[in-house]
Each structure stands twice: as C-alpha cells, then as structure tokens.
C-alpha cells in the first residue's frame, strides 16, 4: 500500500509536480470553487424564495384551522357563515394546534384525500414543548416535529386566552432544494470533468514549445562535454518569441550558441596541444637515443677514464633512459588522445598479473608482495602489452611511494562482468587534496607520500593507467586513507 506523507497526524495529498499538472489542477480547482459558490448561492436563494412563499400561504390560512379543531374540523356557524370555510379549503399537510397555558388541548392534520381533519395526531412531549416555545408574534418559525418532520408554524393569540398554532410542511421546499442540489452537482461535476480534460489538452498544446526546450536541455545534459569534439543538438526553435516560453527558448538557444563556440575553441586548443606533444615527443626520441648511445659508447672506451667522468657518463645514460621512457609515455598518451585503436585479442589477465608481480618483487625486494588469483584463468579482450603496462605502473606506484616493509596485495576476481584487478597497500595513503586529480597528467603528491621515500616520476604513470583502461572500455578507481590505499581496475570480459 502506498501511503502519502503525514503532517501533524494528517495524511497530505500528493502535490502535482509538473507545470502542466499544476496549471490543470489550478484551473479545475478555480472552476470547482466558482461552481460551488454559484450552486450555494442558487440553493440559498431558492430555499429563501420557497420558504417565503410558504410563509405567505400560512398568512392566508390564518387561524381558521386551529379554531375549527374544537368543532371536529369545521368552523362554527357564527364565524363568517361561509360554507367554504371548512377544512376542505386547507392544503394537504396543514397542521393546527390549540394550546392553553402551554399545554396542547387540540391538534389536527389535513391528510391527502381526506377533507376532514385528522384529530388523532400523536405528538411527543418534546414536540409539545417545541410548540409551546414558538413565539406568539404572528411570524413564521421552523419547528422540527418528530412525528411530522419539519414545519413552518405561526402562533397567534386566540379569543379565549389560548394560543392558536397553524403550520405547513417544509418537505416540498426541502425536496425542491434537494433536487436543485442534485441537478447542480451533476451539471457542475460534468462541467469539471469536461473542463479538466479540455484544460489538460489546452495546457499541453500551449506548453509544447516548453517541452521542446526541456528536450533540448536534456540532450545537452547527456552529452560528454568534458572532452573531445562535441556537437550540440538542434536548437529549440519557437515561432512566437514574445511569449514567456518563447523568451526562454531564445535565451536557451543563445546560451547553447555560446557554449558551442567555447567548446569548439577548447577542442581546437586541445588538438593543437596534442599535436605539439606528439610532434615534440617524436622529435625528441632521436636526440635522446643519440645522447644515450654516445654515453654508453664513451663508457666502453678502452682507455683510462677519470672516475668523475665515468659517474657523469652513467648519470647521462640513466637520465637519457628516463627521458626516453617519458617521451614514450607522452607518445602513448598522444596516440590514445587521437583515438587510435588498440589491439583486441584475448589476453590472459591472470598471467599478466603473475608476471607483473614477479617483476615488482624483483625490483622491490624490501616490500612484501601477496598475490591472490582465481583458480581458473581470466580472459579479457585487449592489448596485452598495454594492459601489462597498466599493471606495472600500479605496482611501480605502490613500490615507489610506500616505505620499506609495506605489504602490497594484488588480487583478481571475475565473479561476473567486468573482471576486477586490485592493488592494495598498507602504506601512508594519498592526501585528500591530491585524490580528485590523481589520474590527471603531471599530478604528483606533495612531493611524496612519505618523507622517507625517495624517487618519483613525472606524474604520467596513473594518467597512462586511466587512458589505457578507458581505451579498453573499462574504468579505474581509487580509495585511500592513512594505512590503506586501493586501486581497482574494471575491465569488460
């Protein structure tokens, strides 16, 4: 069972959320209030009019009927000598009573089809009390007689110190008013239904331009605007620019035009930067290789070389090799940015992890390396060389940025799609300031994750990890806090 929210113990009705629903509901509510006001005014006016007519009939009846009750429903001969002055002239349902000192002494009722008054009308003590309390002012008052229903009665003083009461039933008035209420309710209900349907269609037709604006904005929100060349959808064209919806559409089109120009300029700038990085890296490969070759050649010289020169040549060779690796990384990033496809062959991810951990254990014997692999090989489509580079970069990152004695746990699980390879270490963790941009290029920790750790790269390792994994259709994530850092690589199988 669906329950609405409660406020103060009272269940609140659900509110319309869309503008179309709010306008339609508002229209129907206003019409309902108007119909209720018109219906209430008509009912009150008709009830007053019919009651006034009933009071006029009471004035015409006078006190003849209650006077005739002492003579079995006929007036005495000395009253006016009119043969038509008996009860046959009275309307059906006319009630009469004679009260003396607050006690009902005589009472009668004209029933349908009976020219004589029925003198055997039963009144309860409460009814008699109500009749005794009617003001003797010659004006009509409403009295609820339990035996006869509601009556309009007039109390007038009699000749013998008694009180003569005459009344007519309110049932015809109430029936007419009730019939009006039913007719008005049916008519107004039908009008509300028709107005609600027609109003919903009208509001929907009127808000079609706004729907196009919302559809355009939704398409723009689903575009990958953060990178690459972006083509914005067609504009939300609206013919009437003077309406409120038209003004919103014009403002949205103008904003989209500015956004499209900005994205085009950004994409052009990124393309120029990529071309520069690719060209510079390509051009640097030859001189870097030449420097490294000449340094190694000098080290092979058979003659005596001073120790200072030997150390300098070793440093030149090591730094040129490091520069060569950096150039290769920049070229790889440039190729991935250009969208060049990688190899798509079946790769045994289990074997890659085993080889990568073996290499890391040899490079970092002071660390403790733990490998958890499933019993069955895990196969993924991709480029084996690049995936090995991803694993090597993650393990190298754990080795270089954690102190000696750190435990690094490498695990692989393939419970479903995708396969997940994780690298966890119990080192000092990565600063929260660095984590949001850890996979961006040239991002380095505040210089190192630990003051006792030496070394460090150019900040391209994790950016290569992210780029290669993304090129394989996967994703990479990081969770880090002091004493626990985990990188997870998700690859589709």
Q: What is the domain-level CATH number for residue 259?
A: 1.10.287.130
Question: The tokens 């009814």 sit on which residue?
Answer: 127
Q: Assess contact for 151 and 166: CB atoms under 8 A.
A: no
Among candidate residues 297, 324, 340, the one where a domain is terminated: 340
- Integer Cα distance of 150 and 308 in angstroms: 127
**Looking at the predicted structure, is the pLDDT value of residue 4 above 50?**
no
Residue 129 lies in a domain: yes
Residue 350 sits in the same domain as residue 260: no
First vs last C-alpha separation in the chain: 42
Residue 290 sits in the same domain as residue 369: no
Residue 334 sits in the same domain as residue 441: no
Residue 325 sits in the same domain as residue 261: yes
Strands 484-491 and 419-425: antiparallel
What integer best gives the mean pLDDT of the chain? 79
Residue 141 sits in the same domain as residue 290: no
Residue 47 sits in the same domain as residue 191: yes
Residue 231 lies in a domain: no
Residue 429 lies in a domain: yes
- Cα dihedral across residues 166, 172, 177, 182: positive or negative: positive
pTM: 0.47
Among candidate residues 311, 340, 369, the one where a domain is terminated: 340
- Integer Cα distance of 441 and 175 in angstroms: 87
Residue 192 sits in the same domain as residue 107: yes
Residue 282 lies in a domain: yes
Residue 182 sits in the same domain as residue 107: yes
Task: Out of 11-25, 218-232, 318-332, pick the least confident.
Answer: 218-232
Task: Out of 119-133, 300-314, 466-480, pick the least confident.
Answer: 300-314
Number of domains comprising the chain: 3
Residue 452 lies in a domain: yes
- Integer Cα distance of 392 and 407 in angstroms: 16
Averaged pLDDT, 349-369:
91
pLDDT band at residue 444 under the 50/70/90 scheme: low
Residues 6+ apart with CB under 8 A from 256: 216, 220, 232, 235
Domain membership of residue 177 as a residue range:
14-77+85-206
Residue 165 sits in the same domain as residue 128: yes
């Amino acid at each position: 069972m669906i329950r609405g929210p409660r406020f103060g113990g009272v269940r609140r009705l659900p509110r319309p959320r869309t503008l179309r629903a709010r306008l339609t509901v508002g229209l129907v509510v206003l019409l309902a209030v108007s119909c209720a006001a018109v219906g209430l005014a008509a009912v009150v006016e008709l009830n007053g009019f019919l009651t006034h007519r009933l009071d006029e009939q009471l004035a015409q009846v006078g006190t003849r009927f209650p006077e005739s009750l002492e003579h079995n429903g006929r007036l005495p001969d000395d009253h006016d000598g009119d043969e038509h002055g008996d009860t046959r002239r009275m309307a059906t349902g006319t009630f009469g009573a004679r009260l003396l000192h607050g006690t009902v002494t005589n009472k009668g009722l004209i029933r349908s089809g009976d020219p004589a008054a029925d003198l055997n009308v039963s009144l309860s003590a409460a009814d008699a009390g109500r009749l005794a309390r009617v003001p003797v002012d010659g004006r009509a008052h409403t009295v609820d007689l339990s035996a006869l229903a509601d009556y309009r009665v007039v109390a007038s003083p009699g000749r013998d110190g008694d009180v003569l009461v005459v009344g007519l039933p309110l049932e015809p008035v109430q029936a007419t008013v009730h019939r009006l209420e039913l007719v008005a309710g049916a008519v107004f209900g039908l009008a509300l239904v028709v107005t609600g349907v027609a109003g919903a269609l009208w509001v929907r037709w009127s808000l079609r331009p706004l729907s196009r604006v919302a559809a355009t904005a939704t398409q723009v929100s689903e575009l990958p605007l953060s990178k690459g060349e972006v083509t914005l959808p067609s504009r939300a064209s609206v013919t009437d620019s003077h309406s409120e919806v038209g003004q919103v559409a014009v403002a949205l089109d103008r904003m989209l035009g500015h956004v499209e120009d900005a994205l085009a300029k950004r994409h052009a700038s990124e393309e120029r930067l990529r071309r520069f990085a690719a060209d510079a890296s390509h051009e640097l490969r030859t001189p870097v290789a030449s420097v490294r070759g000449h340094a190694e050649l000098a080290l092979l010289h058979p003659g005596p070389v001073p120790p200072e020169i030997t150390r300098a040549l070793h440093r030149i060779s090591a730094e040129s090799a490091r520069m060569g690796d950096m150039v290769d990384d920049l070229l790889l990033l440039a190729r991935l940015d250009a969208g060049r496809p990688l190899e798509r062959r079946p790769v045994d991810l289990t074997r890659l992890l085993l080889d990568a951990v073996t290499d890391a254990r040899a490079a970092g014997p002071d660390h403790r390396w733990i490998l958890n692999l499933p019993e069955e090989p895990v196969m993924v489509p991709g480029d084996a060389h690049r995936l090995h580079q991803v694993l090597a970069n993650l393990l190298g990152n754990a080795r270089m940025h954690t102190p000696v004695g750190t435990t690094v746990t490498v695990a692989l699980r393939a419970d479903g799609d995708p396969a997940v390879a994780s690298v966890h270490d119990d080192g000092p963790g990565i600063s929260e300031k660095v984590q949001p941009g850890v996979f961006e290029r040239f991002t380095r920790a505040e210089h190192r994750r630990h003051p006792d750790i030496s070394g460090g790269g150019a900040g391209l390792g994790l950016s290569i990890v992210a780029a290669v994994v993304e090129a394989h259709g996967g994703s990479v994530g990081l969770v880090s806090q002091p004493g626990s850092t985990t990188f997870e690589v998700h690859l589709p199988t």
